[in-house]
């Protein structure tokens, strides 16, 4: 029995009878910090003694700590930075072939989400995030990178081994250049907790808007208040409801969710309970309780989207693209997202993608359903040349987010 299961069993035996009514994982996940006081007297001592407060420790998190300790003359430091990138559902859909002066980045389509991302659009955006980290790291290592992206449209046709070449990165020797963004590569996190309702500084949003509009095939706009903000909130919320009602999508989402330390150590991927954005104490309590009922978790996700993700965010950003199924455009969008995320990290601003509407556009297309989400997004954007592709919230977080697990670089390198 591992530590967490032991704690769970102890908590169940000792505290459950009296706590049964109020302390369910559902309530904790739902109300978060609200249960801090109720739970406090019950478990503080136990939790301190057993290390439930510890999150993000152990081998599954080592890649965040030793990412820049490689002193070899190889290009491995770039891979080690690449794997720390933001990526869809933490599926880590990548493989790297490392040569003396180049790296081939492959989409690992065996890790694609067939319901959640049926055309691999988000998978390719994720590879763009990886490339951004590799590019910044190449410069810090004293190289000038040049990049070639795969051409054509999605879905990517995989080779026999499930791999599809996404990009080739060549480097030539130059002077070392440390960007501020390089230093924050290991501290970037997706923050799913509550944000302070204070408005984000206008000049900062303007700075991000310039970055979000630097590519001629990609545009980005913030929605802060008024009718359009209401429209995008409704859009995200109704798409969340669509997903909750789609049993196949929910089953796929759950299959990647790592609810205990054993699963985290075994798979070193997927979202974990540590990354749900709970306050430290609520998280400790949630970890001690039995696994939640899947249906309750789905309903809880809907409520959290409404009350926390949309309810506490002063601004929502929306990226649109000329062609959301163009491989190179997806990669370039990923690079911009990663850049924005790193800049937000420097400024202690929290962000979280909220991509339910675009996942639903693809799902409706896959199932040949009425394209309701596509229609609603088109109404919001109001220009048929542009297609919504990625949304996120931004704000100042109440709590720091925890890291998500990563497979080590050595596991994802091929010869």
Ligand X SMILES: Cc1cc2nc3c(=O)[nH]c(=O)nc-3n(C[C@H](O)[C@H](O)[C@H](O)COP(=O)(O)O)c2cc1C
Residues that bind ligand X (CB under 6 A): 86-90, 122, 125-126, 129, 189-190, 192, 271, 352-356, 404
Shortest distance (Å) from residue 202 CB to ligand X? 26
- C-alpha angle 57/266/135, rounded to 5°? 65
- With CA atoms as reference, report the closest residue to 186 among 137, 224, 228: 137
Shortest distance (Å) from residue 39 CB to ligand X? 25
Quick one: 130 or 380, whose CB is closer to ligand X?
130
Quick one: 46 or 311, whose CB is closer to ligand X?
311
CA torsion through residues 126, 132, 138, 141, sign: negative
Helix (H) / strand (E) element for 106: namely strand 102-108
Quick one: 12 or 396, whose CB is closer to ligand X?
396
Shortest distance (Å) from residue 46 CB to ligand X? 28
Q: How far apart are CA 343 and CA 183, in angstroms?
A: 11
Quick one: 19 or 344, whose CB is closer to ligand X?
344
CB 92 within 8 A of CB 405: no
Strand partners, 148: 168
CA torsion through residues 186, 279, 53, 89, sign: negative
Q: How far apart are CA 409 and CA 403, in angstroms?
A: 16
Q: How far apart are CA 250 and CA 264, in angstroms?
A: 20
Whether the upstream peptide bond of residue 16 has omega within 30° of 0, thus cis, is: no
Quick one: 25 or 189, whose CB is closer to ligand X?
189
Q: How far apart are CA 352 and CA 320, in angstroms?
A: 17
Shortest distance (Å) from residue 142 CB to ligand X? 27
Shortest distance (Å) from residue 162 CB to ligand X? 19
Q: How far apart are CA 170 and CA 135, in angstroms?
A: 10
Shortest distance (Å) from residue 64 CB to ligand X? 9
Shortest distance (Å) from residue 321 CB to ligand X? 12
CB 30 within 8 A of CB 282: no
Quick one: 27 or 352, whose CB is closer to ligand X?
352
CB 208 within 8 A of CB 220: yes
Quick one: 8 or 82, whose CB is closer to ligand X?
82
């Amino acid at each position: 029995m591992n530590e967490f299961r032991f704690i769970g069993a102890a908590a169940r035996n000792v505290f459950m009878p009296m706590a049964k009514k109020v302390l369910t994982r559902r309530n904790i996940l739902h109300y978060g910090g609200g249960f801090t006081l109720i739970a406090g007297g019950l478990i503080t001592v136990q939790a301190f003694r057993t290390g439930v407060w510890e999150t993000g420790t152990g081998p599954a998190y080592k890649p965040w700590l030793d990412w820049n300790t490689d002193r070899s003359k190889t290009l491995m430091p770039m891979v080690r930075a690449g794997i720390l990138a933001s990526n869809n559902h933490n599926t880590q859909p990548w493989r790297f072939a490392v040569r003396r002066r180049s790296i081939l980045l492959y989409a690992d389509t065996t890790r694609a989400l067939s319901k959640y991302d049926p055309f691999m659009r988000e998978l390719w955006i994720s590879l763009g995030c990886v490339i951004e980290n590799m590019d910044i790291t190449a410069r810090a290592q004293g190289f000038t990178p040049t990049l070639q992206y795969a051409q054509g449209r999605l879905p990517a046709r995989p080779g026999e081994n499930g791999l599809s070449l996404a990009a080739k990165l060549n480097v030539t020797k130059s002077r070392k250049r440390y960007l501020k963004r390089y230093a924050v590569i290991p501290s970037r996190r997706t923050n799913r907790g509550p944000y302070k309702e204070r408005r984000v500084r206008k000049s900062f949003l303007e700075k991000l808007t310039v970055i979000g509009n630097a590519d001629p095939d990609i545009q980005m706009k913030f929605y802060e208040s008024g009718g359009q903000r209401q429209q995008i909130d409704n859009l995200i919320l109704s798409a969340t409801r669509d997903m909750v009602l789609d049993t196949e999508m929910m089953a796929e989402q759950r299959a990647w969710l790592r609810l205990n330390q054993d699963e985290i150590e075994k798979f070193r991927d997927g979202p974990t309970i540590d990354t749900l954005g709970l306050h430290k104490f609520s998280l400790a309590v949630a970890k001690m309780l039995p696994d939640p009922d899947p249906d309750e978790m789905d309903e809880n996700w809907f409520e959290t989207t409404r009350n926390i993700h949309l309810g506490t965010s002063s601004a929502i950003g929306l990226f649109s693209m000329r062609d959301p199924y163009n491989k190179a455009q997806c990669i370039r969008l990923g690079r911009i997202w990663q850049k924005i995320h790193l800049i937000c990290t420097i400024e202690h601003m929290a962000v979280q993608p909220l991509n339910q509407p675009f996942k639903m556009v693809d799902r409706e297309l896959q199932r040949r359903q009425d394209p309701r989400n596509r229609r609603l997004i088109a109404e919001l954007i109001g220009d048929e040349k542009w297609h919504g592709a990625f949304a996120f919230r931004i704000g100042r977080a109440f709590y720091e987010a925890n890291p998500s697990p990563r497979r080590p670089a050595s596991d994802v390198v091929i010869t």
